[in-house]
Structure 1
């Protein structure tokens, strides 16, 4: 019994380490998004950290339009980054889950 418990604890610790490694790797995965007309472009990491924002000069003339563009494009970029992040971390976590009775809902 204790051998099984120790094995599960080791597997959980290994999975936790793999999750941390995956989080670090996702800092280098870049997600690009732009407005439909290409006037605003943003780049995020898969961990949802903003790396760059490019604004066309024509948007600088209309503050309200620029704000609208920023909200729309940032939300699309965050949604994409979240999907990548969730998929990558979910795969690592699912792969590392020990076979604990009653917790098979995660598989």
Structure 2
């Protein structure tokens, strides 16, 4: 069913995906909220690497903190998704025609 050429391409794609995953582990993106009161850091593989909450939040109520965390996490996730999509598109360019 698969020719030798197709198997070679699949193996190349698998190797390139692993290289891309390693690159994405090294890419760090951040999301912040409340003027840096809450800062979230993720890598390009969408893994949370750091969460920073400024001590100025001591006076803030639970709902406000939850809102800031939600905004910061969503911003970091959006940035991680964008980095991930770019890396995957770049890795596929040489393997899949038309990309």
Pairwise CA RMSD of aligned residues?
1.7
- Whether 1:53 aligns to 2:51 is yes
| Distance in 1 between residues matched to 2:34 and 2:66, nearest whole Å | 15
Superposition pairs for residues 12-91 of structure 1, below 5 Å?
A: 12-61=10-59, 62-91=61-90
Matches of 2:19 and 2:29, distance apart in 1:
19
Q: Where does the alignment leave 5 or more consecutive residues of structure 2 unmatched?
A: none
What corresponds to 2:7 in structure 1?
9
Q: Provide Cα deviations, 1:41-96, integer angstroms capped at 9, x if missing partner.
A: 11100111001111012224311111000001100110010011011012212321
1:36 Cα deviation from its structure 2 partner: 4.7
TM-score by length of 2: 0.86
For structure 1, the 5+ residue unaligned runs are: none
* TM-score, with structure 1 as normaliser: 0.80
**How many residues matched?**
97
Separation (CA, whole Å) in 2 of partners of 1:88 and 1:69: 29
After TM superposition, the runs of 4+ consecutive aligned structure 1 residues lying more than 3 A away are none
